[in-house]
Amino acid sequence: MPELPEVETIVRDLREPLVGQTIVDVRNDWPRLIALPDLAELRARIGGRIIEAINRRGKYLVFNLDGGETLIIHLKMSGQLSVVAATEPADPYVHTAFVLASGEELRFHDVRKFGRVYLVRDPGLVLGDLGPEPLSAAFNPDWLVDQLQQRRRVIKSLLLDQTFIAGVGNIYADEALFLAGINPGRRSDSLTAAEARALHAAIRRVLKLGIARNGASIDGAYRRPDGSSGDMQLEFAVYGRAEEPCIRCPGIVQRIVLGGRSTHYCNACQF
DNA sequence: CAACCGACCTGTTCGC
DNA sequence: TGCGAACAGGTCGGTT
């Protein structure tokens, strides 16, 4: 569920309440959520660590702790984070909680239990295969033009490949392809240089808009740490708009399945 | 190398 | 009203 803009929003929201805090313990009632190391070692290594910085890489939240440790969290489809007083009533969907010295807790709420927590000394172990950050200088038009020619994959699937670009998910891939006027089923090496440049600009534009709108909340799945919703869903041109009129032409938004993912596009103005 | 599909989980919505 | 099927923002691993 959370893609780059949602994770970025969460990271920004968490800095104020968490940076400088000391983690004293971890609770967990669903062992699979702890990917690395096991719960016993996690508790032993994280106790007493101070949160020095919080950042994002792709869809991962990265907490730099003192002592050279890095806590990494991936929210997958249904993860949410919140910082609340430890006295707040227990929530059955909170499967992992980081107990803080302040008397508060960082709670990891995850209905579907797909989320993952890692504690590593080498972040590269978890983040090493990620592609460039789409809002960084490494992701530039010339690079994309070149890369699309090197690959022969369906363009939408390529955008979802985190080793190609980090952070783009199903919503923003559909929205970027619509903005660029490119059919999601095209092979990447069939795009002209002009189309690749348009796609580059569109990816940046939708991600920045998503961040400006604090992410997209649909059915309450994504929530900011304080429980509030984002507004990006109000800006969707195609995602979730199957059978509705295109906002740019007389066409109708189509829904198809590509690479096993629901895909939305206008077949009248995306070529 | 790439496409496809089932797993991993649970809740909500949709169609009959 | 009831019930099963379909669907959901993500990734991984095994197969073709």
Non-local (6+) Cβ contacts of A194 within 8 A are none
What is the residue-wise DSSP string for A45-60? HHTT-BEEEEEEETTE
pLDDT for A1: 76
Judge contact between A252 and A266, C-beta under 8 A: yes
Q: Single out the catalytic residue among A2, A132, A134, A225.
A: A2
pLDDT, tens digit (0-9, with 9 covering 90-100), for A157-200: 999 999 999 999 999 999 999 999 999 999 999 999 999 999 99
pLDDT for A27: 98
User: Sheet containing A116-120: which strands, arranged edge to edge?
Assistant: A34-36, A116-120, A70-74, A60-65, A51-57
pLDDT for A117: 98
What is the residue-wise DSSP string for A7-27? HHHHHHHHHHHHTT-BEEEEE
Distance CA A115, CA A94 (A): 11
Report CA-CA distances (Å) from A52 to A7, A49, A103: 18, 9, 18
Closest CA to A80 of A95, A70, A69: A95
pLDDT for A152: 95
pLDDT for A116: 98
pLDDT for A257: 95
Distance CA A192, CA A178 (A): 16
pLDDT, tens digit (0-9, with 9 covering 90-100), for A111-164: 999 999 999 999 999 999 999 999 999 999 999 999 999 999 999 999 999 999
- b/e map of A253-264 (b: 16 or more CB within 10 Å)? bbeeebeeeebb
Distance CA A95, CA A129 (A): 27
A3 given a catalytic annotation: yes
pLDDT for A219: 85
Report CA-CA distances (Å) from A101 to A12, A86, A105: 21, 10, 9
Q: Single out the catalytic residue among A56, A59, A156, A223.
A: A59
A261 CB less than 7 Å from any atom of strand C: yes
Hey, what amino acid is at A210?
A: G
Distance CA A82, CA A93 (A): 12
- Other Cβ atoms less than 10 A from the Cβ of A221: the count is 17
Q: Single out the catalytic residue among A3, A6, A8, A195.
A: A3
pLDDT, tens digit (0-9, with 9 covering 90-100), for A68-121: 999 999 999 999 999 999 999 999 999 999 999 999 999 999 999 999 999 999
State yes or no: pLDDT of A220 exceeds 90: no
pLDDT for A244: 95
Q: Which pTM value belongs to this model?
A: 0.98
Reduced to 3 states (helix: H, G, I; strand: E, B; else coil), residue A87 is coil
Distance CA A221, CA A109 (A): 11
Nucleotides of C under 7 A from a protein CB: 7-12
pLDDT, tens digit (0-9, with 9 covering 90-100), for A24-62: 999 999 999 999 999 999 999 999 999 999 999 999 999
Q: Identify the bridge partners of residue A262 per DSSP, sorted by sequence position.
A: A257
Residue A145 CA to nucleotide C11 C1', Å? 26
Average pLDDT score over chain A = 97
Q: Which residue is nearest to nucleotide C12 (CA to C1')?
A: A114
pLDDT for A4: 98
Reduced to 3 states (helix: H, G, I; strand: E, B; else coil), residue A251 is coil
- Residues whose CB falls within 7 A of nucleic chain B? A 32, 77, 111-114, 151-154, 157, 187, 219, 258-260
Please report, rounded to a whole number, the percentage of residues in chain A having pLDDT higher than 70.
100
